[in-house]
Amino acid sequence: MMRLNFSVIHRPFSTRAAFLAVLTGVAGFMVATSQPVMAQGRAAAPAQTQQAAAPANPNAAPFPPLSAAEQQRLDQILAAWEQQSKGTKTLECDFKRWHFDLFAAPAGIYANKAEGVIKYANPDKGLFQVKAVVSYDGMDDNGKPKYSAKQGLYGEHWVCTGTELKEFDHATKQCKIQQLPPDMQGQRIIESPLPFVFNADAKQIKQRYWVQPMQSPKPELILIAAYPKHQADRAQYKVVQIALDAKTFLPQALIMYAPNFNQKTQPKWDHYEFTNVKRNSIQASLQKFFMQSFIEQEPPSDWKVFRDNYNGPPQLAEGENEARRQ
């Protein structure tokens, strides 16, 4: 089991913003582990992080200025990351998400775990679907955490067609379709929240984030933290911590902390890892060639459909299943 010691701030993340994040910035996420970097155990406790004090000036970086050597190294990392992600035409992978909430489960124990699938087609089509969710049910007689799936409880299911954002509610058999404004369609989708997940752009990352290199516990990993500069981004997340493979510059883990994260009053954060990554797969190419749907976009015929204009990222916490009971 891989363990990393991220020593920065933490916070959770909203689901739709998370979906757009996956769609627009981390397209090379590949993971070689099956358990979360900050899974069970003390590594998951936010008390281990060095919580940076909020700067007096909200427009100032929340950490000391980088040295010339640090800045040069950071520029090299971002350039290599951008170069790696440029060739992504299609991507599909499985993901696991561990949600930590000290009000819902003891310290070091995740409150729920979700498993699902992500699909992406350059430049603006994607799918984010949770297939299974288990929630914390207390401790057993041996002092170990218990988890179970809840009947009628479904995870998030989002699809972006490039012009529309669709939310599928499997509990109520309803689909909400939001028309994306022109300034978020096509290549401009990368200007939405968290634009560094699948299509990393070094210039844009530095324009929108204060990026800080972090000390890595392993030589094969590169750790960085990204703090949003713009208020619109700050409303979605406080900081994102990313683990990159030192050779391929492919992200291996992503941890998101909510905009209002506080160790005592809002102790929530989400951890993602990605497996079975297929980048520019032959199957995906054939699906597109034969006009088959690489990303299923339409709800079943017996579902109710509601249409509206895009109203911005949702406020639901990512790890807190946007699942609904029947």
Q: For strands 157-160 and 164-169, give the pairing.
A: antiparallel
Q: What type of residue is 169? A: D
Distance, CA of 55 to CA of 261 (rounded, Å): 15
Q: What are 214-244's pLDDT values in tens digits?
A: 888 888 889 999 999 988 788 878 888 888 8
Flag residues of the chain having pLDDT under 70: 1-58, 186-199, 251, 285, 288-292, 312-326
- Sequence-separated (6 or more) residues with CB below 8 Å from residue 123: 162, 186, 187, 189, 190, 199
Is residue 246 included in any domain, yes or no?
A: yes
Distance, CA of 138 to CA of 322 (rounded, Å): 21
| Main-chain dihedrals φ then ψ at residue 290, nearest 5 degrees | -90, 20
Distance, CA of 116 to CA of 148 (rounded, Å): 16
Collapsing DSSP states into helix, strand and coil, what is residue 296? coil
Distance, CA of 160 to CA of 121 (rounded, Å): 10
Collapsing DSSP states into helix, strand and coil, what is residue 158? strand
Tell me the two tokens of residue 197: 């997940």
Is residue 190 included in any domain, yes or no?
A: yes
Collapsing DSSP states into helix, strand and coil, what is residue 174? strand
- Sequence-separated (6 or more) residues with CB below 8 Å from residue 10: 46, 49, 238, 239, 241, 255, 257, 261, 269
Give the pLDDT score at 78. Answer: 92
3-state helix, strand, coil in the chain (%, to 5): 20, 35, 50
Structural domain of 122: 15-50+72-309
Is residue 322 included in any domain, yes or no?
A: no
Collapsing DSSP states into helix, strand and coil, what is residue 88? coil
**Residue 261: which H helix or E strand, with range?**
none
**Residue 22: which H helix or E strand, with range?**
helix 15-24
Tell me the two tokens of residue 323: 């699942």
Give the pLDDT score at 292. Answer: 60
Is residue 271 included in any domain, yes or no?
A: yes
Give the pLDDT score at 6. Answer: 36
Which among 65, 91, 89, 43 has a CA at the least distance from the CA of 211? 65
Read off the CATH number of the domain in which 93 is found: 2.50.20.10
- How many independent structural domains does the chain possess? 1
Give the pLDDT score at 283. Answer: 72
Which among 87, 151, 157 has a CA at the least distance from the CA of 122? 87
- Sequence-separated (6 or more) residues with CB below 8 Å from residue 234: 228, 259
Is residue 66 included in any domain, yes or no?
A: no
Is residue 124 included in any domain, yes or no?
A: yes
Give the pLDDT score at 304. Answer: 96
**How far is CA 280 from its chain centroid?**
21
Q: What are 114-142's pLDDT values in tens digits?
A: 999 988 887 778 888 999 999 999 999 99
Is residue 93 included in any domain, yes or no?
A: yes
DSSP assigned state of 44: G
Is residue 319 included in any domain, yes or no?
A: no
